[in-house]
Amino acid sequence: MRHVFGPLTLACVMQMTAPLGWAADESVDAGPAASEDTAETGDSADTLDVETWDDAPTEEETAVPDAPILGPQVSSKVVLTPEEKAEKESRKACKIEICDIIATREPIGEDIACDIKKTWRADSLTKMLGDQFSWPWGKAVCQSKLNLSRTDLAAAMLESSSTVKMEKFAVSCELHTGEGEPYIVEMELAPEVTFEKGKAVSATVNWGDVSAPLVIYPVVYAGTGLDNRTNILGSSVVTMVNEFTHKKCAEVKDELPGRRVN
């Protein structure tokens, strides 16, 4: 069985710790509830004598043969919990800061320093992984402090070729199992992303020390070692960084403090 390591590391890197790495989760109201049957049966219906109607159809004649059971109405729209809404709002200010640097390419100013928290639902992790890994647990709640050099990020947007190198930092994730206390996994990493003409073209996570409960430690340790040797997550980091710099930053274009957007 292919294992759970992939989604956890991917979530940490793209959504919280890699530069420019959030795939923003939009809060969308649920669609309208299924309509209720509001037809009422009057007293006249109780007194109607169908036996006096020679041509009245029987119940068997009016039934739809082999009618499929469609089940309840479902929707692809995502409704965030109060906790998820609070997390998203707390990340928004940092997202705007990063996107403003991308838009203005201004190297003068304060560096990025944000506390980031992100909850991943089990179904989101399963969807993210496709057929590459299995995810046997519930939600994952990850936290980290994002530190990003303004000068390096501005250079990545301006120069024909530039690499953003982050100093080593820690990520802590709670893996909820549905029974008892969640597993606590802590990892160190120092990502690097290379840009050409403002677009990410390559990336490495560069894992350091890891800490996890004994029952899953061998898998986490082996996974970080494997990625350090083969860079299996590099292409995923590139994809999500580029999505952030273009699509996600466009969503907050009118909220950027510099207003100096292309």
What pLDDT digit, counting tens, does each position of 43-98 carry?
A: 433 433 434 344 545 555 555 556 567 777 766 677 888 888 888 888 888 899 99
| Three-state secondary structure call for residue 21 | coil
Which residues 6+ apart lie within 8 Å of 150 measured at CB?
101, 106, 107, 108, 109, 110, 111, 112
| Alpha carbon 47 to its chain's center | 59
pLDDT tens sequence across 135-167: 777 888 888 888 999 999 999 999 999 999 998
- Report the pLDDT value the prediction gives residue 44, as an integer from 0 to 100: 39
Which residues 6+ apart lie within 8 Å of 55 measured at CB?
none
| 47 is a domain residue | no
Backbone torsions φ then ψ of 218, nearest 5 degrees: -60, -35
| 66 is a domain residue | no
| 116 is a domain residue | yes
Q: Looking at the 3D structure of the chain, how many domains does it have?
A: 1
Q: How many CB atoms lie within 10 A of CB 238?
A: 19
Query: What pTM value is reported for the model?
Result: 0.68
Range of the domain at 119: 5-22+79-255
| 107 is a domain residue | yes
| 40 is a domain residue | no
Which residues 6+ apart lie within 8 Å of 84 measured at CB?
25, 27, 119
Query: How large is the average pLDDT for residues 239-243?
Result: 89
| 261 is a domain residue | no
* Position with higher pLDDT, 201 vs 16: 201
Instruction: Report the distance separating Cα 35 and Cα 161, nearest Å.
Output: 57
% of the chain residues with pLDDT over 70: 69
The DSSP result for 103-122, as a single string, is HH---SSPPEEEEEEEEE-H
| 71 is a domain residue | no
Which of 79-88, 206-215, 224-233 shows the lowest mean pLDDT across its residues? 79-88
Of 130, 206, 124, 215, which is closest to residue 164 (Cα–Cα)? 206
Query: How large is the average pLDDT for residues 187-210?
Result: 94
Structural tokens at position 94:
């940092």
- Report the pLDDT value the prediction gives residue 232, as an integer from 0 to 100: 85
| 176 is a domain residue | yes
Of 129, 164, 117, 168, which is closest to residue 15 (Cα–Cα)? 117
Query: How large is the average pLDDT for residues 2-6?
Result: 45
Largest interatomic CA distance in the chain: 91
Whether the pLDDT of residue 38 is over 50: the answer is no
- Report the pLDDT value the prediction gives residue 72, as an integer from 0 to 100: 76
Query: How large is the average pLDDT for residues 203-220?
Result: 90
Backbone torsions φ then ψ of 248, nearest 5 degrees: -70, -40
* Position with higher pLDDT, 30 vs 233: 233
pLDDT tens sequence across 169-186: 899 989 888 788 899 999
Is the distance from CB of 204 to CB of 219 less than 8 angstroms?
A: no
- Report the pLDDT value the prediction gives residue 130, as an integer from 0 to 100: 62
Whether the pLDDT of residue 11 is over 80: the answer is no
- Report the pLDDT value the prediction gives residue 237, as an integer from 0 to 100: 86
